Amino acid sequence: MACRPRRLIAALVLALAAAPVAAQETLANRLFGAVAAPTGTAGPIGTHARGCAEGLVAMPASGPTWAVMRPSRNRAWGAPVTVDFLQDLSRAAAAQGWAGLYVGDISQPRGGPMTSGHTSHQIGLDADIWMLPPRRLNLSRAERESLSSISVRNAAQTDVNAAWTPAHAAILRAAAEDRRVDRIFVTPPVKVALCRAATRADRGWLQKIRPWYGHDTHFHVRLRCPRGARGCVNQTPTVAELSNGGDGCDASLAWWVTDYLEALKNPPPPDPAAPPPPRGARAFTLADLPAQCAALVAAP
């Protein structure tokens, strides 16, 4: 990704702070997306979907049990706890017979909103992990840019397909049982398959597995705020509150593969009285983020 000189970014942020409101509407994702390197030590600032981060470190491009994909995006930056977690999980994947893990987007060098893709991934505590079982990890840069993951849901979006394996389930369980993890987003059919396979006496870990659309080729792990990170705000409500302490395998899960899909096929007519939808992360300006983020994106 092409990066602007640091002095130009700093000058732009200072000018915006003194400019009229209309002139301050430069998109935050353009500013954060232009930064090439991290800074500071304060850690995550704000929430996973509205924040920025100091002290992020790069996930090494490759290791004994992992490979970082799409390096041109410059989104392999995470809090130290995130990088440690991903390396630990990659070893768990290797124990299941995979070569390791293909790691997708984590965060930008200083977090913040992204120019494409994610709403979250803004504070270095979110990471995408591909559903494609790696056969090898010694990929060229060109292969890291061109290789694609696989979908594990069927065409009807109601269940998993033949690409889903017991190893997928074991890796997701290992992630869910890690105390650093807050929740894991998967395509709803994966949650259905996990609920179906779990025994009655061994289901507590399932509450961290949350169904969400758009996660059929990867799963999205979200970590809790690290201890001592005073500017970091965990997502609320907690997973336990969302599932009332249960496993999340109830009627709310069935909705994802019944009513939700029906609404996609036959959307209701627009309601003229409905309030406008909330602004998305790619529409945020610096004013939408914690106050520290403006100084952070302008820092040398």
Q: Is 2's pLDDT higher than 90?
A: no
Q: Is 15's pLDDT higher than 70?
A: no
25 falls in which pLDDT band (50, 70, 90)?
low
Best-predicted range by mean pLDDT (220-224, 228-232, 233-237): 220-224
Cite the beta strand spans of the chain per DSSP E. 44-47, 50-53, 57-58, 62-63, 66-68, 77-78, 101-103, 126-130, 181-186, 209-211, 218-223
Q: Is 104's pLDDT higher than 70?
A: yes
Residue in 230, 249, 248, 232 with CA at minimum distance from that of residue 240 = 248
**Amino acid 295: pLDDT:** 95
What's the pTM value of the predicted model, to 2 decimals?
Answer: 0.89
242 falls in which pLDDT band (50, 70, 90)?
low
Distance CA 26, CA 108 (A): 18
Beta-bridge mates of residue 185: 210, 220
Q: What would the pLDDT profile of 142-189 be if each residue is shown by its tens digit?
A: 999 999 999 999 999 999 999 999 999 999 999 999 999 999 999 999
Distance CA 171, CA 163 (A): 15
**Amino acid 245: pLDDT:** 63
Distance CA 208, CA 181 (A): 8
* Tally of CB atoms within 10 A around 102: 26
Q: Is 117's pLDDT higher than 90?
A: no
Q: State mean pLDDT over 116-122.
A: 93
Average pLDDT of the chain to the nearest whole number: 90
**Amino acid 127: pLDDT:** 98
Name which residue leads in pLDDT, 22 or 67. Answer: 67
27-42 residues labelled b (16+ CB within 10 A) or e (exposed) = bbbbbbbbbeebbbeb
**Amino acid 277: pLDDT:** 85
CATH, domain 46-268, list 3.40.50.720, 3.30.1380.10, 3.30.70.380, 3.40.50.150 = 3.30.1380.10
Report the length, in residues, of the chain: 300
**Amino acid 240: pLDDT:** 64
292 falls in which pLDDT band (50, 70, 90)?
very high
Q: State mean pLDDT over 121-134.
A: 98
